[in-house]
Chains A and B, each alone.
Chain A
Amino acid sequence: MSLENWLKDNQIVRHRPSAAEIAELMHICDRDLEKASIVELGPDWRLSIAHNAAVQAAKAALAAAGYRARKEGQHYLLLQSLAFTIKTESEIVDQLDKFRQKRNMSDYERAGMVTEQEAEEMIALARQLRTDVAQSLNAHYPHLATEI
């Protein structure tokens, strides 16, 4: 699999990125990372917010590579794309996907199914991802990383 395959399958489309767009996505990521650290929100909510942060970082990396998901809300696809855009290890992508599944449970179920340790783990993953994406942007797309 590759991004080219996804393009052929019409899962992603070509996209012309701008520095402002990348900055906006990274800004949302930062905002969410900050909010996710508020312990009082409870683990299930914190996990959701941290997951959102990870998705924004993934979206930024994909945009920088010149693509975007064809449809909105393609969280699965965006997280999987990290393996191509910033060469995230498959183990980490698997973990992100499991957190995505947790996040997708109904509110009622999720309230019990997320432990504090898990929320912390998701936040740490999202933070690492934010760092990795920023590093990759600076290294490969410096013209897009001017505002991050």
Chain B
Amino acid sequence: MGKIIPEMGNYLSENPLCSGLFGKTRQAVLAFLYLRSDSSFYTKQILDALRIGRGTVQRELKNLTDAGIIRREVQGRQVYYRANAKCPILNELRSIIRKTFGVADVLGQSLAPVAGKVRVSFIFGSVARSADDRRSDIDLMVIGGITFGEVVSLLKPAEEMIGREINPVVYPITEFKRKIKEDHHFVKNVLAGEKIFVIGDEDELRKLAER
């Protein structure tokens, strides 16, 4: 885990799929702890990162602790919280977080300022296959009228928040279409593999691939 405790309040999703499952504070707490599941954080770190009212966060920390979803640890005078590694649905929950209000959301928000220029963006590779650990990088495909440099700058805060390297692969639309036409090995594999969409969806990607 890096030293930077990022501000997460800005990245939260209002996506109905997420809000239908969990309230805003629960999403925030779960995403924060579950996307860094091998680190623990003291209350102030969590509060600083989430920038949501102290009372609601503390209530949520208690609820989730009581439910066995996160763990509370006392060391000296500090109270720490972390994802409960023994939670029987830890992996499922992490998977839900990743697919809903977790990483993809964070990345989507980061790319939001250029959403008009990006046709499709998705995570591929180990994260999408649910086979990752914290060391594994996030491979992100970005297809559209945007440069690698722009994408790197936009993703920098998200990268610090997630605490993992993000490897963007940035294709202009014409180059992407040409690679498909040429039956490019890598592009073909990525298209056939698992994806978590950040911008656009499978339909949009299919349209790009067909024309």
A residues adjacent to B (C-beta < 8 A): 91, 94-95, 98-99, 101-102, 105, 111-118, 121, 125
Contacts and interface: CB of A to CB of B under 8 A. Distances in A.
Nearest to B153: A91
A99 to B, nearest CB: 8
Contacts of B168: 98
A121 B167 contact: no
A116 B149 CA distance: 14
B175 A98 contact: no
Interface string B28-66: 000000000000000000000000000000000000000
Contacts, number: 52
B187 to A, nearest CB: 7
B169 A115 contact: yes
Nearest to A105: B167
Interface residues of B, number: 21
B175 A116 contact: yes
Interface string B159-174: 0000001011111100
Nearest to B185: A112
Nearest to B155: A98
A125 B165 CA distance: 21
Contacts of A112: 169, 184-187, 189-190
Given A98-B152, A113-B139, A118-B170, 16 more contacts: A94-B152, A94-B156, A95-B149, A102-B167, A111-B186, A112-B169, A112-B187, A112-B189, A113-B169, A113-B186, A115-B148, A115-B171, A117-B171, A117-B175, A118-B169, A121-B147
Sorted nearest first, the 3 A-B pairs with minimum C-beta distance are: A112-B186, A118-B148, A98-B152
Nearest to A92: B149
Nearest to B178: A116
A121 B149 CA distance: 8
| Residue among B148, B152, B156 with most chain A CB within 10 A | B148
B162 to A, nearest CB: 15
A99 B147 CA distance: 13
Given A111-B186, A117-B147, A95 B152 contact: yes
Contacts of B189: 112
Given A101-B165, A121-B147, A115 B170 contact: yes
A7 to B, nearest CB: 22
